[in-house]
Structure formats: structure tokens, C-alpha cells
Chains A and B, each alone.
Chain A
């Protein structure tokens, strides 16, 4: 029961956090910035509108938003939120979840190619390439976590015995993982330095350009899906930073959302202080995260026989 309440709460709070990122960026720039609830107003506005569809597109274009929203919603059912157990959990669910996110990405890309627009094709090509490299990092993280905890389930990683946390015996290796997962978060969620969510130039976009031709409720579904995906990755990093304290549910929940807010603030600070990379340096950036985690996994050979 608590799992379902925590899940619903997370769904409701998901659009709040990108507002925190924008507020942080405005603060660093010395501006006031948009209100915290801006994304809720955006979603409401989009749901009130109709849509324009391109004459070149087919049913695949209309399937794109629904499949990508489903693929972003499902991982939230499996990750522990606010100190409670997740709604569902089974041995091997991590692999299933990352492949579900893969089918979401597949449909976003084909929906983009459906519009017969060269910009969307460009964004789709970049997205396909960078996310393949990010998959290598993610699976290296799964290898390391399997060595530490002996299981393949998100609930077991963060709440089981042999939980993966900084306070555990292999805590030092997790520093690599935190840095690497932060880099993957920036890649997968189209943040600076991989992609600038506020650029106006279609030739430089990755995610924004793939959704250029979507409008109305379709765009609302896509935006909400993007918020859920960002929440998933941030929750992953939050669990690495915050161990499970054996106090009441409410304290754990507040602690979880507190550290989550800090993660979002860190994203905002990164966006404000870094410039976006040249496109050909992004693979090196992603492979750096892979190397860090693979190194950590090799280190386990030394002291975990």
C-alpha cells in the first residue's frame, strides 16, 4: 500500500523537479526565473490544445508518444521511492527495465523519421549513437552491482542485504559509479554538456528536434515521459548517495526527496557552469563514464573473490 502511495506521489511530483533545475540556473545567472510550478502549467496548456499532423506521417507517428510514455512510466514501478519497497520487483528486473527504455527510444526515433524532415533524422541518428554507448556504461554498472550484491533487482540493490551503498564495505567504488551515472543522466536526458534543452538551432539539437513535429496532448505525453525518465535516473543516484536509515517511513521519505532535490540542483549547476560539447567529443565523454565503471568492476577482482 505504501508503495502505491509513494509511486503516485512520485508521479505527481515529477514535473516539479525540472522547475527546480530552471530556478537553479536562473539563480546562478542572477535572474528570477520561471515559477516552480511552470511545468504543470505547460502540461495543462498542452492538454487543452489540439494537434497538427504532418501529411507525410503514418500511424507510427501517433504511436511514438504512447510507447515512449509507457516506457518511461514502467521503470518507476520497479525502483524504490521515498524509502519504501517498489510496487513490483523480481530478480532480473534491471535488464528488463533498461530494454523497456530501449523500446521507448526505438519508437521515439521511428516517429521522428516518420515526418520526412532532415532535422529529425539528424537528431535520431545522434540519439541512436549516443544511447548505444550509454548502454555499455549502464551494463558495466550492472556488472559491478552484481559483484557487490549478487542480485539483479533494483529493490535488492538498494534495500536488500549486501545493499549497494557508500557506507558498505565497497563504498569507495561507488564514487566512480555516482560520477558515471551522473554523466549517463546528462546524456540520456538531453542535458548540457551533451545537448542543450534551450537551444533554438535545429541543427544542434538531439532530443528537442525529434519531438519538433509533435503538438498538443502528444507533446504533453512526451514531456511527462521525459520528466519520469529524469526522475528515474535521479532516484538511482539518490539511492547511491543516501543509505536506508532505520527510522520511520516519513523521515526516510523526506530524506529521499531532500537528496533528490540536491541531485537536481547539481544538474542545474552543471548546466550553468559548463558549455555544451562539440558533437564529436560526446562519444569520448560517454566512454569516459564507461571506463570509470569498468575500472571499478575490475577492482572488485582484487578484493572480492
Chain B
């Protein structure tokens, strides 16, 4: 545990040094990056002895100055620390050349400082061992990420996005504090150990409040509204850290409190499964409807959180019905998907950042032909897209397969659980298909074809500090896909201290995972064979090149290519009651050609619902109280005097 705190100290130093050195631009950035990388490596080394450990966790560390904070490192914490220490140094390295405006040196220094504070607070959330520690670390995480999101505060939409994120983060924290209040009123202590002594109604209430609070951070539907605004507004490496790592802290909170409460009824599992299915399907449908590159990646985060919650829900149902295989594979698939998603989502956000930096636009319908101009970014983005669609032989498939396996186990259960399990399988299948549709759209429209605007035509490859993290992450995607056994063992290790699941036998799933690895390697072997066959077929043949046939049109134009909007339109229209398509068409009124406009927009029903049913009535009621704010300072002083008098008399 001490090594972990040394690692945190190094990372904090990496945050303070930029503030001192900000006048020397490159030195400042280099110091921040080096300190973060060293700190994360130290952190990973601190986890190694915990991984070898076979017994229950014994390390606790208490800080008893004016607040009692306790930390402990059990297997679930160790597992969640891995994405933090893996992704954050790569994001810091990426930021070296991404933040290249030397006139903004002070702001970039503050950005690096907040990033190191965010890393430290995320580690503290995962290691927290009492209600007070968890709450403190959670609030620190929310505040530092707010400052990271509003890095470009001179833009109005960034400020609006930051404000929305702040409101959601605080509303979520309020729910968590309410849950903690209930716990304290029942048990009288802040320790985690006493949580399983609550009554079952109280357990359910606490679970729902924690789901609302941690879920809004994770981005479940309908509390995901801040995600598609905050992720595009933040700088790309911050989006990578937030989407890859920070929203997983919400998942960690849900898992930890589920484990501590020890509620073995069916209801938590069914609620989580339903929420997961809704987030998964609706997240990917909204992603299809969006054409801002980072916004659609943000909606894909919602979808993958949905998949993680489907796995967790299936695991919880397995625990409730005593089906050990279902419990083990559901939770293991969920945990492995946490790791996999952090890898490929960060990869995709880094790629989007590279595209943004070189072409200055995020709109998919203005890009195109970037594969030839940015070869490394294009190839790694392709790998990330195949992984996120859950296709073999990459890593997304492994975790989705584990979740499928758990769902199929659930088909043998009676009654309602059978329906839930079959709905889970069908929604996973639909999510997979829609994700593939969305990413073929992104890869095809952004990287392939011809550039649709001048900005896209001028793009060139980005610097090494930005391509190296992307290459590393895409290599990791392939490695996990072809050699899944150690990573699945890692996921099983993460479940070791979850008492509800029981002991996991050492040989569980070995045959299954071995077969998956075999299938991936067989696919690659056949692919190699077919490539050689193609090469022999093409030996000595004439190969010419020419422009794409344009149906006989003599002057083809790059604007004739298919656009992302058209590609996705038929799918989005299919999901109509859940997706509001707003069309503004000025119509053709004159006989001769005149000025016409046409605009379609895909609206999120959660946003519309929140606006129409929560905000507008609330504002209407509060308008009645507007008379209190009249501006006369004398009456304001009168209010203060009145309050003091009432407090003195009554209390």
C-alpha cells in the first residue's frame, strides 16, 4: 500500500511542477508527462504483490488527523486501478503534442495540474474504505473533472456543457449523500463493514440511491444527458480519460455497494439489467443519429456502460437464483468489458482528437479520405472501431461472449428470469449490429472515400507523441483478442473478494476461453492463407487504376459521395418513438429557384423529457417566488435580521 501512496505523491508532483515551470513551455509539459508516467508505473508495480496474493485483503491504512480516512486494497480495487494506471499516462503523453499552443501556457499548466488531481482522486475512490473517504474522493473527482472540461472556457458551448456536467455531478453526489445519510442513521458508523446489517427495505432504498448517484456519473439512460455535451467540449485526451476511466468509477461504486449491501433478492439484478438494456440500445441509436465525431463517441460510451450493466445485472440474477456459472461469467464479462472499453474508447477519442487537430472540424460530413493522409491514425481507429463493435479477433468480442454465456445460462431459469435473459441476449445482438453499423459509418465517411471539404484535404499525420499511445492501445486490443486467457483470469481475480459469488475454482472457463483463443487464431490463420492465395491469383495480372464510375456523369464531384446523415437515416427512423427527428424545411414556394433551407436534427428523449417535465414546471413554480429578489439592499438586510431573530428564539 505504501508504494501506491508513493506513486500518488509522484503523480501529484507531476501536477505541481507545471504550475511552477509554466514559463518554459516544453519543459513544463515534459515534466508533467514524465512524472505521470513514472507515477503510473509505480502504481502498477504496487499492484503486482496484490495480484499474487491468494488470501483476503489485509492492507488497510488510516489517516487520522482531523478526519478519519481509511483506505484498503481488495481484489475489486486492484482490478479497477489497472485501467487508471494504464490509460492516464498514455493520455498525458498524448497531451504533449495535442496542447500545442504556447500562448496558453498557464491554462495548459492548470490543465495538467487538474489531470494529476483527477488521477489521484480516482485512485482514492477505488481504495476508499469508509463512507467519508468515498464521499471526499468522489467530490474531488467531480470538481477536478469540471475544471478539465471547461479548459476552453472562452467558448459559450463549453461553458454550457461544463455547467450541465456540474449540475449532474452534484445532483448525483446528493443522491449518494442521501444514501450515506440513511446508512449512518441506521448503523451509526461510517465503516463499510456494517452495511449488510441494514433492513431489506433500507438496503433497497440505499441501492436505488447509489444507482442514481453513481449511475449519473457512469452515464446510464436517462441520466446520461451531460455526457454528449461534456465529452466534445473537453480536450481530446481529457475526453479519453473521462470516458475511458472516470465513468467506470460510477460502475465501481455500483459494484462496491452491491457487494457491501449483500442484497440477494432478484430486484436489484432485474433493475440493473433493464437499465443496462435501455442504455445499450438507446445509446447506440442516438450515436447513429449524431454527426459530431466526439458526440457520437460519447453516446457509444453510454452504450458500452449499458453492456457492462447487462453483464452485472445477469451476474446479480445469477447470485439471487443460486446459479454460480451465471454469476461468475456475468460479473467477469462485465469487469473485462470495463477494461476493454477503457482501452478502445481512449483509442477512439485519441484518434478523434488527432483528426480534430489536423482538420479543425468534428463534423463527419465534412471529412473523408483521411486514411491516405493520416495512415497511422486511420489504421488504429479502424482497429478501435472493430473492437468496439465486438467483432472477433479483437478484445470487445471476448467480454461480450462472456456476457452472452451468462445470459444463455439464465435461459434455464423459470418464469420472469427466462424473459429477462432472452431479452438480454436479443438486445446484445441488436446492440452489436447497430454498433457495427455506426462504426462502419464513421470509418467509411471519415477515413475512406474522398475529402468532402478543404480542411480534410489539408490534413497530415500527427506527431509521434500522439501516435505512440494509439499504437500501443490498438496492439493491446489485438493481444487481448488473441490471448484472452490471462485477462479473463484477471477478471476472475477481480471477483475474488466478492463474497456473494463464492469461491471461483481455478479451472473455471479455461476450456471455453481456450476455444475462443483457438477460434481467433484460426480466423487469422485462414486470413493469412487467403491473402497468400490472392497474391498468387494476382501474380502476372494487369492492374490498372481509374476514377470511380459515376453512373456516366461526366463531371463527378466529391459532394456526390454518400453522407453520414443519409447512411444512418433509415436506422434512426426505425427507432422513431425513442428518437425525435426534428426537421426544419423552408419548402419550395417560388416557381424559379430561390433560397431554401433544410435541417434535420436527432433529439435525445431524455433531454426533451428533462426539459419539458422537470425543468419547465420547476421554473414556472419558482417564477412565483421571483418577488423575493427585488434588489432593495435595505430589505435584504431585513431578511438577515429576521433569520437571526428566528434562529435565536427557536433554537
Contact = CB atoms under 8 A, between A and B. Distances in A.
Partners in one complex: yes
Interface of A: 47, 49-60, 65-67, 69-71, 73-74, 77, 88, 90-93, 95-96, 99-100, 102-103, 105-106, 109-110, 112-122, 124-126, 128-129, 131-133, 135-136, 138-140, 142-143, 146-147, 150, 152, 202, 212-213, 216-218, 220-221, 283, 294, 297, 301, 305
Contacts of B386: 103, 106
Interface string B501-530: 000000000011001101100110011001
B530 A66 contact: yes
Contacts of A125: 562, 566-571
A142 B386 CA distance: 24
Interface in B379-419: 382, 386, 389-392, 397, 401, 404-405, 408, 411-412, 414-415, 418
Contact of B548 (A69, A71, A105, A115): A115
- In the A-B complex, list the 3 residue pairs whose CB atoms are closest, starting with the nearest: A121-B562, A113-B444, A132-B433
Contacts of A92: 401, 405, 512, 515-516
Contact of A117 (B372, B428, B530, B561): B561
B433 A102 contact: yes
B450 A136 contact: no
Contacts of A136: 426, 429-430, 433
Given A60-B382, A96-B392, A110 B443 contact: yes
16 contacts: A51-B543, A52-B544, A54-B545, A58-B372, A58-B448, A73-B530, A102-B433, A110-B440, A110-B443, A115-B548, A128-B437, A132-B437, A135-B429, A139-B429, A213-B549, A217-B537
B369 interface: yes
B541 A113 contact: no
B523 A70 contact: yes
A119 B522 CA distance: 34
A116 to B, nearest CB: 4
A56 B551 contact: no
Contacts of A52: 543-546
Contact of A99 (B390, B531, B549, B562): B390
Contacts of A95: 401, 404
A113 B382 contact: no
A113 B430 contact: no
B550 A117 contact: yes
Contact of A93 (B408, B515, B544): B515
B391 A74 contact: no
A117 B558 CA distance: 9
A92 B568 CA distance: 32
B422 A128 contact: no
A102 B391 contact: yes
Interface of B: 368-369, 371-372, 382, 386, 389-392, 397, 401, 404-405, 408, 411-412, 414-415, 418, 422, 425-426, 428-430, 432-434, 436-437, 439-441, 443-445, 448-450, 511-512, 515-516, 518-519, 522-523, 526-527, 530-531, 534, 537-538, 541-551, 558, 560-562, 566-571, 574
A116 B449 contact: yes
Contact of A216 (B391, B408, B541, B562): B541
A70 B545 contact: no
Nearest to A68: B530
Contact of B440 (A50, A128, A140): A128
A53 B445 contact: no
Contacts of B371: 58-60
Given A74-B526, A88-B522, A92-B516, A53 B391 contact: no
Contact of A55 (B414, B433, B537, B546): B546
A124 B401 contact: no
Nearest to B525: A70
B602 to A, nearest CB: 16
Given A131-B433, A213-B548, 6 more contacts: A52-B546, A55-B545, A57-B548, A74-B526, A105-B436, A124-B562
A162 B404 CA distance: 22
B376 to A, nearest CB: 13
A49 B437 CA distance: 33
A70 B551 contact: no
B522 A74 contact: yes
A42 to B, nearest CB: 15
A144 to B, nearest CB: 9
Given A55-B546, A58-B448, A126 B570 contact: yes
Contacts of B569: 125
Contacts of A73: 526, 530
Given A110-B443, A146-B408, A297 B389 contact: no
A113 B542 contact: no
Given A56-B369, A109-B444, A114 B449 contact: yes
A218 B543 CA distance: 12
Contact of B425 (A69, A88, A102, A143): A143
Contacts of A217: 534, 537-538, 541
Contacts of A67: 527
A55 B547 contact: yes
